[in-house]
Protein backbone atom coordinates (compact mmCIF):
# COMPACT_ATOMS: atom_id res chain seq x y z
CA UNK A 1 0.00 0.00 0.00
CA UNK A 2 1.35 3.44 -0.94
CA UNK A 3 2.48 5.69 1.89
CA UNK A 4 -0.09 8.50 2.41
CA UNK A 5 1.12 12.01 1.66
CA UNK A 6 0.63 14.30 4.67
CA UNK A 7 0.71 18.07 4.70
CA UNK A 8 3.42 18.08 7.33
CA UNK A 9 5.68 15.57 9.06
CA UNK A 10 6.74 16.57 12.57
CA UNK A 11 9.98 15.02 13.81
CA UNK A 12 9.91 14.75 17.59
CA UNK A 13 7.16 14.05 20.12
CA UNK A 14 8.11 16.43 22.93
CA UNK A 15 6.24 19.62 23.90
CA UNK A 16 7.16 21.47 20.68
CA UNK A 17 6.23 18.52 18.48
CA UNK A 18 2.96 17.76 20.24
CA UNK A 19 1.87 21.38 20.13
CA UNK A 20 2.83 21.51 16.45
CA UNK A 21 0.54 18.53 15.86
CA UNK A 22 -2.31 20.28 17.66
CA UNK A 23 -1.82 23.57 15.88
CA UNK A 24 -1.51 21.84 12.50
CA UNK A 25 -4.98 20.43 13.05
CA UNK A 26 -6.21 23.85 14.11
CA UNK A 27 -5.06 25.13 10.73
CA UNK A 28 -6.66 22.25 8.84
CA UNK A 29 -3.41 20.47 8.06
CA UNK A 30 -3.05 16.71 7.92
CA UNK A 31 -0.11 15.96 10.22
CA UNK A 32 2.15 13.03 10.95
CA UNK A 33 4.18 13.01 14.18
CA UNK A 34 7.23 10.73 14.46
CA UNK A 35 8.99 10.03 17.76
CA UNK A 36 12.14 7.89 18.13
CA UNK A 37 11.31 6.77 21.67
CA UNK A 38 8.48 4.41 22.51
CA UNK A 39 6.57 7.11 24.39
CA UNK A 40 5.67 10.72 23.76
CA UNK A 41 6.63 13.66 25.94
CA UNK A 42 10.28 14.32 25.14
CA UNK A 43 12.43 15.49 28.04
CA UNK A 44 9.36 15.77 30.28
CA UNK A 45 9.57 11.95 30.50
CA UNK A 46 12.81 12.38 32.43
CA UNK A 47 11.23 14.60 35.10
CA UNK A 48 7.79 13.08 35.71
CA UNK A 49 7.83 13.91 39.42
CA UNK A 50 9.03 17.50 39.07
CA UNK A 51 6.56 20.33 39.58
CA UNK A 52 6.12 22.64 36.59
CA UNK A 53 5.27 26.23 37.51
CA UNK A 54 6.06 28.20 34.36
CA UNK A 55 3.47 26.98 31.85
CA UNK A 56 0.99 29.75 31.09
CA UNK A 57 -2.50 29.30 32.47
CA UNK A 58 -1.56 26.15 34.36
CA UNK A 59 -1.39 25.86 38.15
CA UNK A 60 1.73 24.01 39.31
CA UNK A 61 1.44 20.40 38.18
CA UNK A 62 3.65 17.34 38.03
CA UNK A 63 5.58 16.59 34.88
CA UNK A 64 3.68 13.36 34.25
CA UNK A 65 0.32 15.13 34.43
CA UNK A 66 1.62 17.81 32.09
CA UNK A 67 2.92 15.14 29.70
CA UNK A 68 -0.45 13.38 29.54
CA UNK A 69 -2.24 16.68 28.89
CA UNK A 70 0.21 17.56 26.11
CA UNK A 71 -0.43 14.19 24.45
CA UNK A 72 -4.21 14.54 24.75
CA UNK A 73 -4.05 18.02 23.23
CA UNK A 74 -1.64 16.93 20.51
CA UNK A 75 -4.03 14.20 19.38
CA UNK A 76 -7.07 16.52 19.24
CA UNK A 77 -7.35 16.45 15.44
CA UNK A 78 -6.25 12.85 14.92
CA UNK A 79 -2.70 13.15 13.54
CA UNK A 80 -0.87 10.01 12.50
CA UNK A 81 1.45 9.18 15.41
CA UNK A 82 4.44 6.85 15.07
CA UNK A 83 6.58 6.01 18.12
CA UNK A 84 9.70 3.87 18.26
CA UNK A 85 10.59 5.27 14.83
CA UNK A 86 13.91 7.02 14.27
CA UNK A 87 14.31 9.22 11.20
CA UNK A 88 17.69 8.68 9.54
CA UNK A 89 17.46 10.96 6.49
CA UNK A 90 15.30 13.70 5.00
CA UNK A 91 15.40 14.53 1.29
CA UNK A 92 13.29 16.27 -1.31
CA UNK A 93 12.17 14.19 -4.29
CA UNK A 94 11.50 15.14 -7.90
CA UNK A 95 7.81 15.84 -7.17
CA UNK A 96 8.69 18.49 -4.59
CA UNK A 97 7.71 16.26 -1.66
CA UNK A 98 9.85 15.64 1.38
CA UNK A 99 10.85 12.05 2.09
CA UNK A 100 11.60 11.23 5.72
CA UNK A 101 13.31 7.84 5.77
CA UNK A 102 13.18 5.93 9.04
CA UNK A 103 15.60 3.37 10.47
CA UNK A 104 13.63 0.54 8.89
CA UNK A 105 13.93 2.08 5.42
CA UNK A 106 10.28 3.15 5.27
CA UNK A 107 9.63 6.47 3.49
CA UNK A 108 7.19 8.99 4.97
CA UNK A 109 6.00 11.59 2.45
CA UNK A 110 4.83 15.12 3.19
CA UNK A 111 4.70 18.61 1.71
CA UNK A 112 6.61 20.22 4.59
CA UNK A 113 8.73 19.23 7.59
CA UNK A 114 8.80 20.57 11.15
CA UNK A 115 11.88 19.63 13.14
CA UNK A 116 11.02 19.40 16.84
CA UNK A 117 13.66 16.90 17.89
CA UNK A 118 15.25 18.93 20.70
CA UNK A 119 18.89 17.97 21.19
CA UNK A 120 18.31 14.63 19.54
CA UNK A 121 17.36 11.33 21.14
CA UNK A 122 18.17 11.80 24.82
CA UNK A 123 18.99 8.68 26.86
CA UNK A 124 20.29 8.64 30.44
CA UNK A 125 23.89 7.45 30.73
CA UNK A 126 23.79 4.02 32.31
CA UNK A 127 26.07 2.24 34.72
CA UNK A 128 28.35 -0.16 32.89
CA UNK A 129 28.71 -2.57 35.77
CA UNK A 130 27.84 -6.22 36.09
CA UNK A 131 24.24 -6.71 37.18
CA UNK A 132 23.15 -3.16 36.39
CA UNK A 133 20.98 -4.14 33.42
CA UNK A 134 19.07 -6.71 35.49
CA UNK A 135 18.65 -4.38 38.46
CA UNK A 136 16.97 -1.81 36.17
CA UNK A 137 13.89 -4.01 36.43
CA UNK A 138 13.80 -3.51 40.18
CA UNK A 139 15.60 -0.93 42.32
CA UNK A 140 18.10 0.75 39.97
CA UNK A 141 16.65 3.93 38.44
CA UNK A 142 17.82 6.47 35.86
CA UNK A 143 14.78 8.69 36.26
CA UNK A 144 12.60 9.29 39.29
CA UNK A 145 9.54 7.03 38.94
CA UNK A 146 7.63 8.37 41.95
CA UNK A 147 8.73 10.21 45.07
CA UNK A 148 6.22 8.26 47.12
CA UNK A 149 7.88 4.98 46.07
CA UNK A 150 10.92 5.93 48.18
CA UNK A 151 9.03 6.59 51.41
CA UNK A 152 10.97 5.31 54.43
CA UNK A 153 13.78 3.85 52.31
CA UNK A 154 17.54 4.26 52.12
CA UNK A 155 18.29 5.78 48.72
CA UNK A 156 21.73 6.25 47.20
CA UNK A 157 21.94 8.92 44.50
CA UNK A 158 25.01 9.07 42.25
CA UNK A 159 25.77 12.32 40.43
CA UNK A 160 26.86 15.90 40.93
CA UNK A 161 24.69 17.89 38.54
CA UNK A 162 21.42 19.75 39.03
CA UNK A 163 19.22 16.66 38.61
CA UNK A 164 21.07 14.56 41.20
CA UNK A 165 21.18 17.37 43.76
CA UNK A 166 17.52 18.26 43.12
CA UNK A 167 16.46 14.66 43.71
CA UNK A 168 18.41 14.53 46.95
CA UNK A 169 16.57 17.65 48.09
CA UNK A 170 13.16 16.34 46.93
CA UNK A 171 13.63 13.05 48.82
CA UNK A 172 14.57 14.79 52.06
CA UNK A 173 11.79 14.05 54.52
CA UNK A 174 10.38 11.30 52.30
CA UNK A 175 13.17 8.73 52.29
CA UNK A 176 14.50 7.51 55.64
CA UNK A 177 18.05 8.24 54.46
CA UNK A 178 19.51 9.88 51.37
CA UNK A 179 23.14 9.27 50.39
CA UNK A 180 24.50 11.53 47.65
CA UNK A 181 27.80 10.42 46.09
CA UNK A 182 29.87 12.30 43.52
CA UNK A 183 33.15 11.38 41.87
CA UNK A 184 34.63 14.88 42.24
CA UNK A 185 35.38 17.09 45.24
CA UNK A 186 32.64 19.61 44.43
CA UNK A 187 29.25 19.70 42.76
CA UNK A 188 28.48 21.33 39.41
CA UNK A 189 24.87 21.92 40.43
CA UNK A 190 23.50 25.37 41.27
CA UNK A 191 25.02 26.53 44.56
CA UNK A 192 21.62 27.30 46.12
CA UNK A 193 20.51 23.68 45.66
CA UNK A 194 23.85 22.40 46.95
CA UNK A 195 23.38 24.44 50.14
CA UNK A 196 19.95 22.87 50.61
CA UNK A 197 21.26 19.32 50.54
CA UNK A 198 24.17 20.25 52.79
CA UNK A 199 21.70 21.42 55.42
CA UNK A 200 18.79 18.98 55.08
CA UNK A 201 20.43 15.86 56.48
CA UNK A 202 21.60 14.33 53.21
CA UNK A 203 24.67 12.13 53.69
CA UNK A 204 27.17 13.57 51.19
CA UNK A 205 30.19 11.59 49.99
CA UNK A 206 32.61 13.34 47.61
CA UNK A 207 35.49 11.85 45.60
CA UNK A 208 33.53 8.62 45.54
CA UNK A 209 32.25 6.49 42.68
CA UNK A 210 30.15 3.32 42.41
CA UNK A 211 32.58 0.40 42.03
CA UNK A 212 30.31 -2.63 42.29
CA UNK A 213 26.67 -3.60 42.77
CA UNK A 214 26.00 -6.50 45.12
CA UNK A 215 22.68 -8.24 44.55
CA UNK A 216 20.33 -10.53 46.42
CA UNK A 217 20.28 -14.30 45.86
CA UNK A 218 18.06 -13.92 42.79
CA UNK A 219 20.54 -11.37 41.38
CA UNK A 220 17.73 -8.97 40.45
CA UNK A 221 17.82 -6.50 43.32
CA UNK A 222 20.71 -4.41 44.64
CA UNK A 223 21.28 -4.85 48.38
CA UNK A 224 24.74 -3.34 48.76
CA UNK A 225 26.67 -0.73 46.80
CA UNK A 226 30.45 -0.90 46.93
CA UNK A 227 31.92 2.60 46.70
CA UNK A 228 35.50 3.45 45.81
CA UNK A 229 37.39 6.53 46.96
CA UNK A 230 38.74 8.09 43.75
CA UNK A 231 41.89 9.32 45.53
CA UNK A 232 42.89 6.46 47.81
CA UNK A 233 41.12 3.55 46.12
CA UNK A 234 39.62 2.50 49.48
CA UNK A 235 36.37 0.52 49.24
CA UNK A 236 33.25 1.02 51.36
CA UNK A 237 29.98 -0.94 51.28
CA UNK A 238 26.64 0.73 51.86
CA UNK A 239 23.28 -0.99 52.40
CA UNK A 240 20.56 0.45 50.17
CA UNK A 241 16.94 -0.04 49.24
CA UNK A 242 17.20 1.89 45.96
CA UNK A 243 19.87 3.42 43.72
CA UNK A 244 19.27 6.47 41.52
CA UNK A 245 21.92 7.25 38.88
CA UNK A 246 22.09 10.74 37.37
CA UNK A 247 25.24 10.85 35.25
CA UNK A 248 23.95 13.00 32.42
CA UNK A 249 22.59 11.99 29.04
CA UNK A 250 23.75 10.52 25.78
CA UNK A 251 22.45 12.30 22.69
CA UNK A 252 21.92 10.77 19.28
CA UNK A 253 21.35 13.59 16.82
CA UNK A 254 22.56 11.86 13.65
CA UNK A 255 20.23 12.83 10.83
CA UNK A 256 21.16 13.34 7.19
CA UNK A 257 19.60 16.05 5.03
CA UNK A 258 19.91 15.52 1.29
CA UNK A 259 21.06 17.13 -0.87
CA UNK A 260 21.27 20.35 1.15
CA UNK A 261 22.05 20.04 4.88
CA UNK A 262 20.42 22.32 7.42
CA UNK A 263 23.02 24.75 8.70
CA UNK A 264 23.75 24.38 12.40
CA UNK A 265 25.05 26.69 15.10
CA UNK A 266 26.84 24.22 17.35
CA UNK A 267 24.12 21.65 18.12
CA UNK A 268 21.15 23.76 16.99
CA UNK A 269 19.58 24.53 13.64
CA UNK A 270 20.23 28.08 12.49
CA UNK A 271 17.00 29.90 11.79
CA UNK A 272 14.78 32.81 12.57
CA UNK A 273 12.18 33.71 15.16
CA UNK A 274 9.61 32.82 12.49
CA UNK A 275 10.74 29.15 12.76
CA UNK A 276 12.47 29.19 9.38
CA UNK A 277 15.63 27.17 8.75
CA UNK A 278 18.20 27.42 5.98
CA UNK A 279 16.18 25.04 3.77
CA UNK A 280 12.78 26.18 2.37
CA UNK A 281 9.96 23.89 3.45
CA UNK A 282 11.76 22.70 6.57
CA UNK A 283 10.84 24.56 9.75
CA UNK A 284 11.89 24.06 13.36
CA UNK A 285 10.49 24.49 16.86
CA UNK A 286 11.70 24.08 20.42
CA UNK A 287 15.16 23.29 21.73
CA UNK A 288 16.59 22.30 18.33
CA UNK A 289 16.22 25.85 16.94
CA UNK A 290 18.59 28.75 17.61
CA UNK A 291 17.92 32.43 16.93
CA UNK A 292 18.43 35.81 18.58
CA UNK A 293 15.87 36.35 21.33
CA UNK A 294 15.15 32.63 21.78
CA UNK A 295 13.08 31.80 24.90
CA UNK A 296 14.29 28.47 26.26
CA UNK A 297 11.15 27.70 28.25
CA UNK A 298 7.99 25.70 27.53
CA UNK A 299 6.23 28.90 26.48
CA UNK A 300 9.00 29.45 23.92
CA UNK A 301 8.51 25.94 22.51
CA UNK A 302 4.80 26.63 22.02
CA UNK A 303 5.47 29.94 20.29
CA UNK A 304 8.00 28.26 18.00
CA UNK A 305 5.44 25.57 17.20
CA UNK A 306 2.79 28.12 16.23
CA UNK A 307 5.26 29.94 13.99
CA UNK A 308 6.48 26.71 12.41
CA UNK A 309 2.94 25.57 11.60
CA UNK A 310 1.94 28.98 10.22
CA UNK A 311 5.03 29.04 8.01
CA UNK A 312 4.39 25.47 6.85
CA UNK A 313 0.79 26.39 6.03
CA UNK A 314 1.79 29.32 3.79
CA UNK A 315 4.63 27.30 2.25
CA UNK A 316 2.07 24.68 1.14
CA UNK A 317 -0.70 27.18 0.37
CA UNK A 318 0.83 30.59 -0.44
CA UNK A 319 -2.64 32.19 -0.50
CA UNK A 320 -3.45 31.03 3.05
CA UNK A 321 -3.60 33.54 5.91
CA UNK A 322 -0.29 33.78 7.71
CA UNK A 323 -1.89 33.26 11.12
CA UNK A 324 -4.49 30.86 12.47
CA UNK A 325 -7.80 31.99 13.95
CA UNK A 326 -7.97 31.99 17.75
CA UNK A 327 -9.70 28.95 19.22
CA UNK A 328 -12.61 30.94 20.70
CA UNK A 329 -13.73 31.88 17.15
CA UNK A 330 -12.46 28.87 15.21
CA UNK A 331 -15.10 26.84 13.35
CA UNK A 332 -13.17 23.62 14.05
CA UNK A 333 -14.15 23.94 17.71
CA UNK A 334 -17.83 24.85 17.37
CA UNK A 335 -19.31 21.38 17.84
CA UNK A 336 -16.70 20.46 20.45
CA UNK A 337 -17.56 23.62 22.38
CA UNK A 338 -21.28 22.81 22.27
CA UNK A 339 -20.55 19.34 23.58
CA UNK A 340 -18.42 20.70 26.42
CA UNK A 341 -21.06 23.29 27.33
CA UNK A 342 -23.72 20.56 27.47
CA UNK A 343 -21.42 18.45 29.65
CA UNK A 344 -20.80 21.35 32.05
CA UNK A 345 -24.53 22.10 32.21
CA UNK A 346 -25.29 18.47 33.08
CA UNK A 347 -22.63 18.47 35.81
CA UNK A 348 -24.08 21.68 37.31
CA UNK A 349 -27.60 20.27 37.12
CA UNK A 350 -26.54 17.07 38.91
CA UNK A 351 -24.57 19.02 41.50
CA UNK A 352 -21.19 17.72 40.20
CA distance 138 to 267: 35
> What does DSSP say about strands 203-206 and 121-124: parallel, antiparallel, or unpaired?
unpaired
Give CA–CA dist 121/250, Å, rounded.
Answer: 8
Output the 3-class SS for 5-31. EEEEEEECCCHHHHHHHHHHHHCCCCE
Q: How far apart are the first and last CA of the chain?
A: 49
For residues 310 and 27, is the Cβ–Cβ distance under 8 A? yes
Q: What is the C-alpha to C-alpha distance for residues 86 and 82, in angstroms, rounded to an integer?
A: 10
Numbered residues of the known binding site for FAD: 35, 43, 47, 87, 287, 328
Please write down the long-range contacts of 85-89, taking CB distance under 8 Å and 24 or more positions apart.
85/34, 85/35, 85/36, 86/36, 86/121, 86/252, 87/11, 87/34, 87/36, 87/255, 88/254, 88/255, 88/256, 89/255, 89/256, 89/257, 89/258
115: closest CA among 309, 348, 344?
Answer: 309
Binding positions are 35, 43, 47, 87, 287, 328
Amino acid sequence: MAEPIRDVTIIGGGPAGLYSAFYSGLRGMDARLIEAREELGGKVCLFREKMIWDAGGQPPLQGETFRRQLIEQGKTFGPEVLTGTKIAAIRKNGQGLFEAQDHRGRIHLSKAIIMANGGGIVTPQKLRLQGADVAEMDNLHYTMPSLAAFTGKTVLISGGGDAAVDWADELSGIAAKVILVHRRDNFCAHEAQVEKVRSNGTDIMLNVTIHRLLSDAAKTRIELVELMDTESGALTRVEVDDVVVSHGYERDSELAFEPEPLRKDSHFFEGGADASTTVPGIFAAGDCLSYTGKVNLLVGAFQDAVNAVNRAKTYIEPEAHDRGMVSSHNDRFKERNRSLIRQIAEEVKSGG
